[in-house]
Amino acid sequence: MFFLGFLVLINLTSFILFGIDKSKAEKKKWRIAEAYLLGISFFGGSIGSLIGMVIFKHKLSKKKFYIGVPCFLMLNKFIELIVFNSIR
């Protein structure tokens, strides 16, 4: 149950961060570091990141995002499969 809560929280956070970064980009303000956005995707927030990329139309032209985030999603799903199967 803890793991599921973690996944919901990190994906919600990553989605919100993509929205904040897009808003700041449009206003030419200080931005969230790309390494941070990719890091939160790697550590479980890939679904939120991918949804944020599409909804906010943000980072879609950057290769490290349009290739990296889907790769992180596959990695995250593999890890989730292992974790959820070991809990049963």
**DSSP labels for 44-88?**
IIHHHHHHHHHHTT-STT-HHHHTHHHHHHHHHHHHHHHHHHHH-
pTM: 0.91
**Domains contained in the chain, number:** 1
First to last CA, the chain: 11
8-67 residue pLDDT tens: 999 999 999 999 999 999 999 999 999 999 999 999 999 999 999 999 999 999 999 999
Structural domain harbouring 82: 1-87
Q: What is the pLDDT of residue 87?
A: 79
With beta carbons less than 8 A apart as the criterion, state whether 20 and 53 touch. no
